[in-house]
Structure 1
């Protein structure tokens, strides 16, 4: 599973998302929202969903459009303990 966080600047490449960092954020909080780049495959995001649901967590994923063009979107993932 090779995931990338959403870009904060259109000219910068997206940063790689590490599963350990996501889990560490969930240990500190009851729930967390993450934004993933459009370059992620839907299959990888579904694998992430399976991973956290196997651990007994709730997982919600949405596609968020931030512009009018077809490629101006990101994935919003909300994970709840």
Structure 2
């Protein structure tokens, strides 16, 4: 599964990441907060949450609004 990390600047393209890399980062640190771009589908984000929970992590998922427009949001995934 390929996901997009949140952008640092509004006009730049989001960076891609594989599910294996996310799991590798979690195995090193034990817990981590990831921010994902709004271009990811909600279905893909739920698949990520399910995959991490299947590996035994507690996962907190939410949508973060950072502006007033409808498209000004990102996804936050906190895995413990």
Task: Give the structure-1-normalised TM-score.
Answer: 0.91
CA distance in 1, matches of 2:47, 2:29: 22
Partner of 1:25: 25
Partner of 2:44: 44
Partner of 1:71: 71
Structure 1 stretches of at least 4 aligned residues deviating more than 3 Å after TM superposition: none
Structure 2 residues not aligned, in runs of 5+: none
Partner of 2:14: 14
Give the number of aligned pairs.
Answer: 80
Task: Give the structure-2-normalised TM-score.
Answer: 0.93
User: How much is the aligned-residue C-alpha RMSD, in angstroms?
Assistant: 1.0
